[in-house]
């Protein structure tokens, strides 16, 4: 039986590889979320909609110096579960020594 993955935001649809482990969540660059990586969610059939939504999470401490004000994409499920894809800020180090 085929498994299907679908984005709740843009409707992107993909048929799961039958050899893919069940605990893998595929990502796609979601046009509805500005091209940020977002999960595709399990649906029972191609015409079914996921019972969840992906939302952008802004950096709470953003002061204009980080590479992006976006910290993560969170998946909020209708049953209250929440998953998060985090975009860590790369560390910057002064070549003369010490953190910037």
The torsion defined by the Cα of 69, 50, 4 and 41, in degrees rounded to 10, comes to 30
Structure tokens at 15: 């048929």
76 binds Zn ion, rule: CB under 5 A: no
Nearest approach, Cβ of residue 81 and Zn ion (Å): 19
Q: Give the residue, chosen from 30, 41, 71, 74, that forms a contact with Zn ion under the rule CB under 5 A.
A: 30
Using rule CB under 5 A, residue 9 touches Zn ion: yes
Strands across the sheet with 70-77, in order? 52-58, 70-77, 82-86
Structure letter (DSSP) for residue 99 = B
Closest CB 33 distance from Zn ion, rounded Å:
6
**Which stretch, 1-9, 41-49, 55-63, 86-94, contacts Zn ion (CB under 5 A)?**
1-9
At a CB cut-off of 8 Å and minimum separation 6, what does 76 contact? 52, 53, 54, 55, 82
Position 55 contacts Zn ion (CB under 5 A):
no
Instruction: Write out the two tokens for 22.
Output: 């069940």
41 binds Zn ion (CB under 5 A): no
Q: Does 56 bind Zn ion (CB under 5 A)?
A: no
Q: Which residues bind to Zn ion, rule: CB under 5 A?
A: 7, 9-10, 12, 30
């Amino acid at each position: 039986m085929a498994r299907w993955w679908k984005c709740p935001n843009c409707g992107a649809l993909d048929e799961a590889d039958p050899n893919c482990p069940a605990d893998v969540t595929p990502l796609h660059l979601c046009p509805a979320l500005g091209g940020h990586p977002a999960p595709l969610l399990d649906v029972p059939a191609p015409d079914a909609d996921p019972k969840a939504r992906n939302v952008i999470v802004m950096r709470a401490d953003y002061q204009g110096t980080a590479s992006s004000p976006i910290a993560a994409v969170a998946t909020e499920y209708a049953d209250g579960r929440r998953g998060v894809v985090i975009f860590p800020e790369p560390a910057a180090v002064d070549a003369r020594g010490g953190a910037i």
